[in-house]
Chain A
Amino acid sequence: MNTQGNGANGNGHKIVETAVSAESEGGASLFNVAPPPGELTKKDFVSNQEVRWCPGCGDYAILNNVQKVMPELGISREKVVFVSGIGCSSRFPYYMNTYGFHSIHGRAPAIATGIKAANPDLSVWVITGDGDALSIGGNHFVHVLRRNLDINYILFNNRIYGLTKGQYSPTSVFGQRTKSTPMGVIDYPLNPLSLAIASEATFVARSIDIDVKHLGVMVEAAAKHKGVSFLEVYQNCNIFNDGAFDYFAERSVRSDKVLYLEHGKPMIFGKDRNKGIRMNGALPEVVTIGENGVTEADILVHDINLEDPSVAFMLARMEQPAFPQPVGIFRSINRPSYDQLLVDQIDGAIAKSGPGSLDKLINTGDMWTVE
Chain B
Amino acid sequence: MSAVLEPPVETIDKHLEELDTVTIRFAGDSGDGMQLTGTQFTNTSAIMGNDISTLPDFPAEIRAPAGSLPGVSGFQLNFSSHDIRTPGDQPNVLVAMNPAALKVNLPDLEEDGTLIINSDEFTKENLEHAAYKSNPIEDGSLNGYRVHTLPISTLNMNALKGTVELSRKEIARCKNFFALGVLYWLYDRPLDPTLNWINSKFRKNPELAKANEVALKTGYNFAETTEVFTTHYTVKKAVIAPGRYRKITGNEATAIGFVAAAELAGRPLFYGSYPITPASDILHELARHKNFGVKTFQAEDEIAAVCAAIGASFTGHVGLTGTSGPGVALKQEAIGLAVMTELPLVIINVQRGGPSTGLPTKTEQADLFQAVWGRNGECPAIVIAPATPSDCFDMAIEAVRLAFKYMIPVFYLSDGYLANGAEPWAVPAIEKLPRIEVKFATDPTNFMPYSRDEATLARPWALPGTPGLEHRIGGIEKQNITGNVNYDPENHHLMVKLRQEKVDRAVADIPPVEVFGDPTGKVLVLGWGSTYGSITSAVERLRQEGKSVSSAHLRHLNPFPGNLGEVLASFETVIVPEMNLGQLCTMIRAKYLVDAVAFSKVKGRPFQIREIVQKVEEYL
Pairing of A with B: yes
Spell out A's residues near B (CB within 8 Å).
Answer: 16, 18, 20-21, 23-34, 47, 49, 76-79, 81, 83, 86, 93-94, 96-104, 107, 109-119, 121-122, 139-140, 142-143, 342, 345-346, 348-350, 352-356, 358-359, 361-371
Verify B427–A354 contact, CB threshold 8 A.
no
Residue of A142, A364, A365, A368 ringed by the most chain B CB atoms within 10 A: A368
Verify A25–B484 contact, CB threshold 8 A.
yes
Tell me the minimal C-beta distance from B366 to chain A in angstroms.
26
Tell me the minimal C-beta distance from B196 to chain A in angstroms.
11
Q: Is there a chain A Cβ closer than 8 Å to B242's Cβ?
A: yes
Binds A, one of B217-225, B356-364, B473-481: B473-481
Say yes or no: A122-B290 contact (C-beta < 8 A), given A24-B482, A104-B334: no
Main secondary structure of the interface of B (DSSP, over half): mixed
Question: What residues on A are CB-neighbors of B427 within 8 Å?
Answer: 362-363, 367
Verify A114–B308 contact, CB threshold 8 A.
yes
Verify A27–B252 contact, CB threshold 8 A.
no
Complex: A44 Cα to B422 Cα, angstroms: 58
Complex: A114 Cα to B464 Cα, angstroms: 13
Complex: A32 Cα to B446 Cα, angstroms: 9
Complex: A354 Cα to B316 Cα, angstroms: 24
11 interchain pairs (CB within 8 A)?
A18-B481, A24-B485, A26-B471, A26-B484, A32-B445, A98-B470, A119-B464, A121-B465, A356-B293, A365-B246, A368-B47
Verify A27–B333 contact, CB threshold 8 A.
no
Q: Is there a chain A Cβ closer than 8 Å to B115's Cβ?
A: no
Verify B464–A122 contact, CB threshold 8 A.
yes
Tell me the minimal C-beta distance from A27 to chain B in angstroms.
4
Q: How many A-B residue pairs have CB under 8 A?
A: 276
Complex: A31 Cα to B448 Cα, angstroms: 10
Verify B472–A93 contact, CB threshold 8 A.
yes
Complex: A371 Cα to B334 Cα, angstroms: 49
Question: What residues on A are CB-neighbors of B520 within 8 Å?
Answer: none
Could you mark each residue 267-301 of chain B with 1 if its beta carbon is under 8 Å from any beta carbon of chain A, else 0? 01010100000000000000001111111010111
Residue of B307, B311, B315, B468 ringed by the most chain A CB atoms within 10 A: B311
Partner of B468, one of A31, A49, A79, A100: A31
12 more A-B residue pairs beyond the given contacts A24-B482, A32-B444, A143-B304, with a C-beta to C-beta distance below 8 A: A20-B479, A23-B488, A27-B483, A31-B470, A76-B467, A107-B334, A110-B307, A111-B314, A119-B465, A358-B259, A367-B247, A370-B240
Question: What residues on A are CB-neighbors of B47 within 8 Å?
Answer: 366, 368
Chain A residue nearest in CB terms to B299: A110
Tell me the minimal C-beta distance from A80 to chain B in angstroms.
8
Say yes or no: A370-B243 contact (C-beta < 8 A), given A24-B479, A118-B270, A119-B464: yes
Verify B483–A28 contact, CB threshold 8 A.
yes
Complex: A356 Cα to B487 Cα, angstroms: 47
Q: Is there a chain A Cβ closer than 8 Å to B486's Cβ?
A: yes
Question: What residues on B are CB-neighbors of A16 within 8 Å?
Answer: 446
Complex: A358 Cα to B171 Cα, angstroms: 41
Report the interface size for chain B: residues with CB under 8 A from the other chain: 87
Chain A residue nearest in CB terms to B317: A118
Q: Is there a chain A Cβ closer than 8 Å to B310's Cβ?
A: yes
Say yes or no: A114-B311 contact (C-beta < 8 A), given A139-B304, A143-B300, A361-B259: yes
Tell me the minimal C-beta distance from B465 to chain A in angstroms.
6
Verify A103–B242 contact, CB threshold 8 A.
no
Verify A23–B471 contact, CB threshold 8 A.
no
Tell me the minimal C-beta distance from B298 to chain A in angstroms.
11
Complex: A114 Cα to B297 Cα, angstroms: 9
Verify B317–A107 contact, CB threshold 8 A.
no
Say yes or no: A113-B263 contact (C-beta < 8 A), given A23-B487, A367-B245: no
Chain A residue nearest in CB terms to B264: A358
Tell me the minimal C-beta distance from A79 to chain B in angstroms.
6
Partner of A370, one of B43, B241, B272, B476: B241
Tell me the minimal C-beta distance from B377 to chain A in angstroms.
13
